[in-house]
Structure 1
Amino acid sequence: MANQIATFFSTQPHAEAVDGTRQHIRKFWDPRMRGRVPHLLAEHPSLLPIAREALEGLPASSHN
């Protein structure tokens, strides 16, 4: 799902796309989904660069 969100924002300049993806995840993913962020980063090399940067930039407190 992170890749789909990143694809939606990918028409924007890179920094804006990362921020838009990050904001969407922060607002709309429930805590269980955000709690899986460390797993996604470690186990899914197929994440698009925008999605990976957005997830890496989430504060640890927002993972819960």
Structure 2
Amino acid sequence: MQAEKLVRMANQIASFFKAQGSNAPAEVADHLVKFWDPRMRKAILAHVDQGGAGLDPVARQAVALLPRP
């Protein structure tokens, strides 16, 4: 899956959890672990390692919470 699509999806998830008033980064990370395929998580981690262009700050924080393979 292309990084652009993953960024868009992660940003949408971050927007949802920010609106809920919860601990958004942790909630986003939990969502990514539960619902994203391991290949998707690996790709978003690689995107962040390359600078993370386009990621919302909450999404970036969430990705930083993901376990590394």
TM range (shorter): 0.7 to 0.9
Identity %: 42
Q: CA deviation at 1:57?
A: 1.1
Structure 2 counterpart SS, 1:60? coil
Q: How many correspondences in the alignment?
A: 59
Where do 5+ consecutive residues of structure 2 fail to align?
Answer: 1-8
Aligned partner of 2:3 in structure 1 is none
TM-score (norm 1): 0.80
Separation in 1, partners of 2:66, 2:45: 10
TM-score (norm 2): 0.75
Consecutive aligned runs of 4 or more in structure 1 exceeding 6 Å deviation:
none
Aligned partner of 1:40 in structure 2 is 47
